[in-house]
Amino acid sequence: MDYFVIASILVLISAVFGYINVRFLKLPNTIGLMLITILFTLAVFALSYFDDTLLNAERFIIKQIDFKAILLDVMLSFLLFAGALHTNFEQLKVQRWPVLVFATFGVLTSTFLVGIVMFYMLQLIGLDVQFIYCLLFGALISPTDPIAVLGILKKAGVPKKLETKIVGESLFNDGVGVVVFLTIYKIADLGIDNVSTLEVAELFGKEVFGGIVLGLILGWITYRAMRSINDYDIEVIITLAAVMAGTVIAQKLHVSAPLAMVTAGLVVGNDTVRNSAMSETTEIYVDKFWELIDILLNTILFVLIGMEMLVLSVEGDYLIAGLLAIPLVLLCRYTSLLLPINFFKKRLDFVPKTNLIMTWGGLRGGISIALALGLTETMERDLFLVITYVVVVFSILVQGMTVGKLVKKVEVK
């Protein structure tokens, strides 16, 4: 089965499930698509007791797809650029310091808190896992997923200044989270004695700052090119070329493609560039094009997440660990945000219960699953994949469906 056939099947499934959600369930697309796909996969499992044809076909499709490569190397760049393009730059500018601290200090703090707590929790239930592998789990589960966050928060009625903090953090912290994960992965793979502090700092610095610098350069080139012409067709293609060529360049230079795309999207999307480089027609076409890309890839992504159930090695201990991980991960996120929020709330106007809403609204998604799929068998891949999947499904289905109610409850009080 070639890639065109697989892509066609995924788009067809996404269209059918999306129609069912919009027509009958009327849930946010992220939640509805994942829920329908999981129910469909469970139904396929049940049907397999009588006829396993459909189950084998679904498994075959999943085995042909490298979820980690597709999400991290391809889809993520498009999704982050689209998300950054439609972010309120002026609000983000005001909230830049808390967003920066949440996306760096918050991710690092959460990584170590989750790693420590998971290490002792797994020991208690009889699973002997090395501490460095628990840290790896902390790194992959700590970043909130902008792809999951963006769609749900818009429907949840979160105040704009708080939405900017959560969305801004999500746009940047996944890039930082991927870099933290890759750094710890290198230490786990080579051994802590074979990796120097200088090498770790160099890897982290090159990925983060290199990605941001590349994004600024791409954004500036895109802006200059769009400003020099007035043809909405070509200008849309220029933005597409910036994302595709920029991702390839980032991979060749070994800098963070996610951070590069977020930075480029913010540069191209801010009001100053829009007013000076885009006509009103161009602005409409650029926005609509990237909204369509965002919706299409989001739809396919959450269908894939639902179908990834088929690659799980489900064991009783693993499920127990996953269920116990849910409150632990939430508690670690809440704790990691305490210091930054208390530091900034006197200088900036924070809404009541910011920490609670940011904790419950900080959803996990495809990025965490993709990173978990990148673990080796030695790194307890099967265990952490099940734990990650349980946390992600809870995050999207339960937190995603109730964050709006939480916001309204806080506002009423």
* Mean pLDDT of all residues in 348-374: 88
Per residue in 75-87, pLDDT (tens digit) is 999 999 998 998 8
Please state, in angstroms and rounded to a whole number, the distance separating the CA atoms of residues 46 and 50.
8
Q: Is the pLDDT of residue 92 over 90?
A: no
What is the pLDDT averaged over residues 174-195?
86
Better-predicted residue by pLDDT, 135 or 69: 135
Same domain, 187 and 275: yes
Let me know whether 29 and 151 are in one domain: no
Same domain, 59 and 138: no
Model confidence pTM above 0.75: yes
Give the per-residue pLDDT at 242: 97
Instruction: Mark whether 396 and 362 lie in a shared domain.
Output: yes
Q: What is the pLDDT of residue 1?
A: 59
Q: Which domain holds residue 46?
A: 3-64
- Domain-terminating residue out of 18, 49, 64: 64
The pLDDT mean for the chain works out to: 90
Residues 326 and 248 in one domain: yes
pLDDT cut 90: percent of the chain above it: 57
122-169 confidence digits (pLDDT tens): 999 999 999 999 999 999 999 998 767 766 776 667 777 788 888 888
* Residue 140 sits in the same domain as residue 52: no
What value does the mean pLDDT take over residues 6-25? 94
Same domain, 50 and 83: no
Residues 291, 264 share a domain? yes
Domain count, the chain: 2
**Single residue among 16, 35, 64 that ends a domain in this structure:** 64
Which CATH number do you get for residue 97? Answer: 1.20.1530.20
Residue 217, pLDDT score: 97
Give 171's pLDDT tier (boundaries 50, 70, 90).
confident
Mean pLDDT of 228-236: 96
Token representation of residue 361: 């609204």
Is 250 found in the same domain as 313?
yes
381 band by pLDDT with thresholds 50, 70 and 90: very high
Answer yes or no: do 232 and 299 share one domain. Answer: yes
Buried b (16+ CB within 10 A) or exposed e, 33-54: bbbbbbebbeebeeeeeeeeee
> Residue 382's pLDDT band (boundaries 50, 70, 90)?
very high
So what's the pLDDT on residue 186?
A: 87
The CA–CA distances, whole Å, from 127 to 120, 188, 383 equal 10, 19, 9
Q: pLDDT at residue 412 above 70?
A: no
Residue located via tokens 């009423």:
412
Same domain, 35 and 112: no
Do 48 and 183 share a domain, yes or no?
A: no
The per-residue pLDDT for 359 is 93
pLDDT class for 413, splitting at 50, 70, 90?
Answer: low
pLDDT value, residue 203: 81
Among 47, 64, 81, the domain boundary falls at 64
pLDDT band at 328 (very low <50, low <70, confident <90, very high): very high
pLDDT tens-digit series, residues 385-411 = 999 999 999 999 999 889 888 888 886
